[in-house]
Amino acid sequence: MSSRPNILPYPFRNGWRLRWNEWRLKGNASLVLSGSLIMLVGSLLVAGINFGFNVAMARLLGPALFAQATAIVTLLMLLSAVSLSFQLVSAKFIARNTTRSGKAAVYRTLQRQAWLVGIAVALLLAVAQTPIAGYLHLPRSWLLTVLALGMAFYIPLGVKRGRMQGLCAFAPLSGNYILEAASKLAIAVVLVEMGYGVLGAVGAISASIVAAVLLPAPQSGAPEESSDAEFIPASFREGMQAIVFFIGQVVINNIDILLVKHFFASELAGVYAAVALVGRVLYFAAWSIVSAMFPVSAAAKDEEDPNKAQVLLLPLLIVLLMSACFIFILAVFPGFIIHLIFGEGFSSAEPLLSLYAVATALYALSVVLITYEMSRKIANTGWLQLLFSGALVLLIYIFHSSLRQVIEVQIGLMLVMLVVVSLPFLRMFTSVRWKEAA
């Protein structure tokens, strides 16, 4: 029985096969892709639930009380830098250790430290509640005491989530985020309807954190310990690197809203807040891709992974495609999106949507590169990001004649940061190509 002849010359056929074998998804790259899809779906569900929480609280509390709840949430976001730092370090070193005993030792050490830090942060928040409440214009300072109860659990929650991330247990990790968001929404609605007002909303935030901590975590799937296995403990330098990274991230993601509120009238500040709320959907989606990439990259050894470039290039490509689609949709349908979400009162935000999305996309691509480098070694890019966050504050202070100019400042600065953090990778890939050619 004859088969159809291959009309391509043999060298070309062979080269095509080699290219397919080189670029098809194997091992780590396949794990990044599947994990990215799980985390992306989970992040979209969490974003939807959190949006429902904001809408429900705005309707049930009214503008004045909702402003108090929003201030508490903003404070929680600023303090999240500590929890996320523990999560990043936990994920990295649990992924790097190859035995159950090694993973368990890292987890126990970080969990003990996290409880100490969590209790310290809670006590500090409780002691300083009066001046903080005065700065945030909160009429009742004891709301911060309720938040402090949740903060005692919030730092250890970061270690727990880092363990799931380091084990590449992306489905349970995504489920943990969903549980926190869903329980926050359900408890808040019940408590506010019972007449507890903003106290019920803040209490729901703390209760949801406790619920996420109490949810059982998956067990390690690592092999039993061998006598020659090397234990890799978490280091202080890694913790400092993570803290520096997340401080820069928190500043870049939040400082523009605070500065716009300072420089512009309340109506314009509200328009900008709406634009930022839509634009940050893209960043949260991109962060879900980073969450899947980080433990896989941290666990991989260069000499064992001939396709290691895919662990970086695949997330970059996914984030780039997501960004292009997101920007296109906001550019083509700005009026429909604004009216659907916020109503006609925010129509002046329409021309700003796609611009803000461009700034977010540039930053998201930088974060992929920064976190990849952090997963492999002690990196200086975290300090570089912190430097750019300071430059962002300075430039917005200088250039803020309009909301559009504020966003243009961010686009220019994020473009420069992307170019700077890309240079080491461009040199690396260029040197690899020259070696292959030689």
pLDDT digits (tens, 9 = 90+) for 301-348: 554 444 556 667 788 888 899 999 999 999 998 888 887 777 677 777
What is the per-residue pLDDT for 243? 77
120 shares a domain with 268 = no
134 shares a domain with 216 = yes
Asked whether residue 275 is domain-assigned, the answer is yes
Q: Which segment, 40-49, 97-106, 383-392, is predicted with the most confidence on average?
A: 383-392
Over residues 358-367, mean pLDDT: 93
Q: pLDDT tens-digit profile of 154-178?
A: 999 999 998 988 887 888 888 999 9
Over residues 365-376, mean pLDDT: 83
Q: Which two tokens stand for residue 322?
A: 């997501």
More confident residue, 113 or 13: 113
Asked whether residue 12 is domain-assigned, the answer is no
Residue 288 pLDDT exceeds 70: yes
User: Where does residue 253 rank: exposed (0-12), middle (13-18), buried (19+ CB within 10 A)?
Assistant: middle
Asked whether residue 267 is domain-assigned, the answer is yes
When pLDDT is cut at 50, 70 and 90, the band that residue 433 belongs to is low
Question: Where does a domain end: 221, 251, 270?
Answer: 221
88 shares a domain with 205 = yes
290 shares a domain with 163 = no
When pLDDT is cut at 50, 70 and 90, the band that residue 117 belongs to is very high
285 shares a domain with 246 = yes
Under DSSP, the state recorded for 222 is P
Asked whether residue 229 is domain-assigned, the answer is no
What is the per-residue pLDDT for 54? 77
83-87, 232-236, 275-279, 320-324: least confident range: 232-236
Radius of gyration, CA atoms only, the chain: 23
317 shares a domain with 194 = no
Question: Where does a domain end: 186, 221, 256?
Answer: 221
Question: What SS3 string covers 244-279?
Answer: HHHHHHHHHHHHHHHHHHHHCCHHHHHHHHHHHHHH
Domain count, the chain: 2
Asked whether residue 20 is domain-assigned, the answer is no
Going from the C-alpha of 171 to that of each of 168, 176, 181, the distances in angstroms are 9, 9, 15
Residue type, 155: I
376 shares a domain with 294 = yes
Q: Which two tokens stand for residue 319?
A: 């984030």
What is the per-residue pLDDT for 360? 94
Query: Which residues, 6 or more positions from 130, have their beta carbon under 8 angstroms from its beta carbon?
Result: 141
Q: What is the mean pLDDT of the chain?
A: 78
240 shares a domain with 206 = no
Q: Which two tokens stand for residue 33?
A: 């892709």
What is the per-residue pLDDT for 77? 80
261 shares a domain with 214 = no
Asked whether residue 247 is domain-assigned, the answer is yes
Q: Which two tokens stand for residue 288?
A: 């879900």
Residue 95 pLDDT exceeds 60: yes
More confident residue, 387 or 26: 387
Q: Which two tokens stand for residue 360?
A: 């977010």
Asked whether residue 6 is domain-assigned, the answer is no
Percent of the chain with pLDDT over 70: 77
Under DSSP, the state recorded for 319 is H
Q: By C-alpha distance, which of 211, 235, 219, 232 is closest to 88?
A: 235
More confident residue, 117 or 169: 117
Asked whether residue 43 is domain-assigned, the answer is no
When pLDDT is cut at 50, 70 and 90, the band that residue 118 belongs to is very high
Q: What is the pTM of this model?
A: 0.70
What is the per-residue pLDDT for 276? 83
Report the alpha-carbon distance of residue 141 to residue 129 in Å, rounded: 6
302 shares a domain with 346 = yes
Q: How far is CA 256 from the centre of its chain?
A: 18
183 shares a domain with 253 = no
What is the per-residue pLDDT for 4? 42
Q: How many beta carbons lie within 10 A of that of residue 414, not counting itself? A: 22
What is the per-residue pLDDT for 395? 94
What is the per-residue pLDDT for 10? 39
Residue 114 pLDDT exceeds 80: yes
Report the alpha-carbon distance of residue 100 to residue 223 in Å, rounded: 6
Over residues 173-187, mean pLDDT: 92
Over residues 137-149, mean pLDDT: 83
Q: Which two tokens stand for residue 268?
A: 């314009």
Percent of the chain with pLDDT over 90: 24
What is the per-residue pLDDT for 74? 73
Question: Where does a domain end: 198, 221, 244?
Answer: 221
What is the per-residue pLDDT for 406? 93
Residue 46 pLDDT exceeds 70: yes
Report the alpha-carbon distance of residue 200 to residue 193 in Å, rounded: 9
195 shares a domain with 293 = no
Report the alpha-carbon distance of residue 207 to residue 216 in Å, rounded: 16
When pLDDT is cut at 50, 70 and 90, the band that residue 82 belongs to is confident
Domain extent, residue 86, equals 60-221
Report the alpha-carbon distance of residue 276 to residue 279 in Å, rounded: 5
